[in-house]
Copies of this chain bind each other. A is one copy, B any other.
Amino acid sequence: MAKSKKRRAKRAGLSPGTLVHVGEQKTARVRVTLIDYDEQQYAEKEVTNVEECFPFRDRPTTTWINIDGLHQVEAIERIGRHFGLHPLVLEDIVHTEQRPKLEDFEQYLFLVTKILSYDEATAKIVAEQVSMVLGANFVMTFQEGAKDDFVPVRERIKRGTVRLRTLGADYLLYALLDSIVDNYFIILEKLGEQIETLEEALLLAPAPEQLNALHKLRREIISMRRAVWPLREVVTRLERRESKLIREGSTVFLRDVYDHIARIIDTVENYRDLVAVLLDLYLSSLSNKMNEVMKTLTIITTIFIPLSFIAGIYGMNFEYMPELKWSWSYPVVLAFMAALVGAMIFYFRKRKWF
Contacts and interface: CB of A to CB of B under 8 A. Distances in A.
A133 to B, nearest CB: 15
A277 B92 CA distance: 31
Nearest to A344: B300
A316 interface: yes
A330 B325 CA distance: 14
A175 B16 CA distance: 8
Given A293-B291, A301-B305, A185 B5 contact: yes
Interface in A160-214: 161, 164, 175, 178-179, 182-183, 185-186, 188-189, 192-193, 195-196, 203, 205, 208, 211-212
A308 to B, nearest CB: 5
A88 interface: yes
A199 to B, nearest CB: 9
Interface of A: 1-2, 5-6, 8-9, 11-13, 15-16, 86, 88, 92, 97-99, 101, 103, 105, 152, 156, 161, 164, 175, 178-179, 182-183, 185-186, 188-189, 192-193, 195-196, 203, 205, 208, 211-212, 215, 218-219, 222, 226, 252-253, 255-256, 259, 262-263, 266-267, 270, 273-274, 277, 279-291, 293-298, 300-302, 304-309, 311-321, 323-330, 333-334, 352-353
